[in-house]
């Protein structure tokens, strides 16, 4: 197993290549969303369980039509790779979060 602190899963939905990656320690956490006491579970069903290298994430992001990234380290990697602009990420339950959509025209 690669010990990088990242997990990733690739979902193929019709013509979409969806990359879901997060900092590994976030798996299983419930993050608060909104003001009604709701939470969202960070699940291995979506983000995967397999630890991956930064190179694997960058390879997948190069091919992604949609990406969902969660966590400080994975967002820093995406920023360094040129996939998100510095300071452009939002947060989900206080955790850095970004979604990327490829616009093909």
Q: Where are the domains of the chain?
A: 6-101
The two structure tokens encoding residue 91? 């947060």
Judged against a pLDDT cut of 60, whether residue 91 lies above it is answered with yes
The mean pLDDT of 74-100, rounded to a whole number, is 95
Which residues have a Cβ under 8 Å from the Cβ of 50 and sit 6 or more positions away? 1, 7, 8, 9
pLDDT for 1-59, tens place per residue? 345 699 999 999 888 899 999 999 999 999 998 888 899 999 999 999 999 999 999 99
Question: What CATH number has the domain spanning 6-101?
Answer: 3.30.1860.10
**SS3 label, residue 80:** helix
Strand partners, 52: 6
Which residues have a Cβ under 8 Å from the Cβ of 77 and sit 6 or more positions away? 6, 54, 57, 58
**SS3 label, residue 16:** strand
The two structure tokens encoding residue 14? 């019709």
User: What is the C-alpha R_g of the chain?
Assistant: 13
Judged against a pLDDT cut of 70, whether residue 104 lies above it is answered with no
């Amino acid at each position: 197993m690669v010990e990088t602190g990242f997990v990733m899963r690739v979902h193929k939905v019709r013509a979409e290549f969806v990359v879901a990656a997060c900092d590994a320690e976030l798996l299983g956490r419930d993050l608060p969303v909104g003001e009604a006491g709701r939470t969202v579970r960070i699940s291995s069903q979506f983000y995967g369980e397999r630890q991956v290298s930064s190179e694997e994430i960058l390879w997948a992001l190069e091919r992604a039509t949609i990406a969902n990234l969660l966590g400080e380290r994975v967002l820093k990697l995406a920023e360094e790779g040129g996939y998100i602009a510095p300071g452009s990420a939002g947060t989900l339950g206080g955790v850095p979060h970004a979604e990327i959509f490829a616009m093909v025209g």
